[in-house]
Amino acid sequence: MSEVFFRSAADVGPTNTQIDQIKELFRKIPVVEKGDLVAIKIHPGEYGNTTYVRPVLIRTIADLVKEAGGIPFITDTTVLYGGKRFNGPDMLWTAAVNGFTFGSMNAPFISADGLLGDDSVKVPIGGEYIGEITVASAIAKADAMIMISHCKGHPASGFGGAVKNLGMGCLDKEGKAKVHSPGMPDIDTETCIGCGKCVRACPWNAIYLENGKAFVDKSMCMGELSCLGSCSFDSIMPHEGYTIELQARLGEAALGPVKLLPEKIGYINWVFDLTPGCDCFNFSAPAFAGNVGILASMDPVAIDKASLDLVNKKINEEGCMHSIEDVWGIDPMIHLERAAKIGVGSLEYSLDI
């Protein structure tokens, strides 16, 4: 049974700020040794998003790493879809605009998978769906990692926390494509009007128009579904049940960073601003439930299971829904159970309040 530490949002006040809670919880995950190059894995938010983990909290972690004798760097990986984080320069620009600069962090921000998102290390997984995964080099070559995850809903996995941050956020583009591959869509040519919006939305040029209809070139498609939101006629359809296989792949891929950094990853889950969608969106929707608090653990599966349980408890207290599954109609336990099965962590936990 894994130990998870929890500090409640209800206890935040003038003498017990979120900064104070982060400092206290950091001591519960002692992974930093003197001289370690320490990746602080964050999500800096897409340009336009405003609910990512606040820069002042990341700065606090960077300072704590230095106090422990480590050499911190802030990092994230480039994305498969369009937007302002598709390559290294865009990633650093967005991070800076959103508040993650050397001046604010007192530590550099690094694009973990390099200039084009292909700088990585191959790791054997041996999963049912994924035999080998590619982990971003700056994470793979670090001595230790502090991963801070904003817990929220997610349209593909139902919930995003530490396991998703491992199984998607720590991968290069090739790795992300392996996880996303079940999302390759079909286009209903009966309802397609050939407007071309999906063609323009796809960053991989995988959609083309022919005789006034759109078609997908499956050899070029990455399955990240940028096209889905561009269609006003519901003509683009992911395969039925694709989120089940995607979640299984996500859980398996999470083993990659864990294998590379055994006992050297500490996890912090920030359960505030419970938005329906992820920080990859270029906007922030209203929260579907109130703030919960901050958790820390050495086990990514346990911390996510504890976070989910606390979120569902909050949902029930407020009477807004039955559970987080109601947000997208997706059971997030699928990827947590797969992660536990392959050895990423344990679903069994004790909660230290």
* Least confident window among 113-127, 262-276, 317-331, 337-351: 317-331
The predicted pLDDT at position 57 comes to 98
**Binning pLDDT at 50, 70 and 90, where does residue 320 land?**
confident
Residue 240 pLDDT > 80, yes or no?
no
pTM for the model: 0.92
Based on the fold, state whether residues 143 and 90 are members of the same structural domain.
yes
Based on the fold, state whether residues 150 and 221 are members of the same structural domain.
no
Write the DSSP string, 186-227: EE-TTT-----HHHHH-TT--EEEETTEEEE-TTT--S--TT
User: Which one of 195, 219, 237 terminates a domain?
Assistant: 237
Pairing of strands 71-76, 109-111: parallel
Residue 59, both tokens: 């700065």
39, with CB counted inside 10 A (0-12, 13-18, 19+), is buried
Residue 91, both tokens: 């990633």
The predicted pLDDT at position 291 comes to 97
User: Which one of 193, 219, 237 terminates a domain?
Assistant: 237
Q: How many CB atoms lie within 10 A of CB 18?
A: 20
Based on the fold, state whether residues 148 and 194 are members of the same structural domain.
no
Question: CA dihedral in degrees (127, 339, 40, 311; nearest 10)?
Answer: 150
Based on the fold, state whether residues 199 and 331 are members of the same structural domain.
no
Distance of CA 302 to the CA centre of its chain: 16
Find out whether 6 and 291 touch, Cβ atoms under 8 Å: no
Q: How far apart are CA 115 and CA 47, in angstroms?
A: 19
Based on the fold, state whether residues 261 and 225 are members of the same structural domain.
no
Based on the fold, state whether residues 197 and 339 are members of the same structural domain.
no
The predicted pLDDT at position 239 comes to 76
Structure-model confidence comparison of residues 240 and 332, the more confident one:
332
**CATH classification at residue 26:** 3.40.50
Average per-residue pLDDT for the chain:
95
Based on the fold, state whether residues 209 and 346 are members of the same structural domain.
no
Based on the fold, state whether residues 261 and 317 are members of the same structural domain.
yes
pLDDT tens column, 125-176: 999 999 999 999 999 999 999 999 999 999 889 999 999 999 999 999 999 9
Q: Which residues pair with 147 in a beta bridge?
A: 41, 267
The predicted pLDDT at position 189 comes to 93
Residue 183 pLDDT > 80, yes or no?
no
Number of separate domains in the chain:
2
Based on the fold, state whether residues 292 and 152 are members of the same structural domain.
yes
Name 219's Cβ contacts closer than 8 Å, sequence gap at least 6: none
Structure-model confidence comparison of residues 332 and 322, the more confident one:
332
**CATH classification at residue 194:** 3.30.70.20
Domain of residue 221, residue span: 185-237
Based on the fold, state whether residues 232 and 265 are members of the same structural domain.
no
pLDDT tens column, 264-296: 999 999 999 999 999 999 999 999 999 999 999
pLDDT tens column, 34-63: 999 999 999 999 999 999 999 999 999 999
The predicted pLDDT at position 72 comes to 99
Based on the fold, state whether residues 189 and 233 are members of the same structural domain.
yes
Based on the fold, state whether residues 200 and 253 are members of the same structural domain.
no
Mean pLDDT of all residues in 245-261: 97
